[in-house]
Amino acid sequence: MKAVEIKPGVYWVGAIDWNIRDFHGYSTYMGTTYNAFLIVDRDITLVDTVKKPFVGELLERVSQIVNPKDIRYLVVNHVEMDHSGGVPEVVSAIEPEKVICSEMGRKALLRHYHNPDWPYHVVSTGDVISIGSKELHFLETRMLHWPDSMFTYIPQDRLLISSDAFGQHWATSQRFDDEVDGEELMRHAAKYYANIILLYSPLVQKLLEKVKSLNLDIDMIAPDHGLIWRSNPRRIIEAYDRWSRQIARAKAVVVYDTMWKSTEKMAHAVAEGLMAEEIEVKLMSLKACHRSDVVTEILDAKGVAVGSPTLNNGLFPTVADLLTYLKGLKPAGKLGLAFGSYGWSGEAARIIADYLRDMKFELVQDPLRVNYVPGKDELKDCFEAGKKLGAKIKESLSS
* Per annotation, catalytic residue among 148, 225, 293, 355: 225
Concatenating the DSSP letter of every residue in 150-194 gives EEEEETTTTEEE-TTTT------S--BGGGS-HHHHHHHHHHHII
* Per annotation, catalytic residue among 145, 169, 188, 268: 145
Summarised one tens digit per residue, pLDDT across range 63-80 is 999 999 999 999 999 999
Contact indicator for 89, 112 with CB cutoff of 8 Å: no
Beta-strand runs (E) in 308-361: 310-311, 314-315, 335-342
* Per annotation, catalytic residue among 11, 34, 120, 192: 192
Give the DSSP H or E segment for 303. Answer: strand 301-307
Contact indicator for 39, 134 with CB cutoff of 8 Å: yes
Active-site residue, 78 included:
yes
Active-site residue, 268 included:
no
Summarised one tens digit per residue, pLDDT across range 256-284 is 999 999 999 999 999 999 999 999 999 99
Average pLDDT over residues 295-308: 98
pLDDT of 1 higher than 80:
no
d(CA 164, CA 78): 8
Contact indicator for 256, 307 with CB cutoff of 8 Å: yes
Does domain 4-244 sit in CATH 3.60.15.10? yes
Active-site residue, 278 included:
no
Look at domain 249-394 and name its CATH class. Answer: alpha beta
What ranges do the domains of the chain cover? Answer: 4-244, 249-394
Active-site residue, 188 included:
no
CA dihedral 140, 141, 145, 149 (to 10 degrees): -20
Active-site residue, 290 included:
no
Contact indicator for 304, 336 with CB cutoff of 8 Å: yes
Share the mean pLDDT of the chain: 97
- Report how far Cα 335 is from the mean position of its chain's Cα atoms: 22
Active-site residue, 80 included:
yes
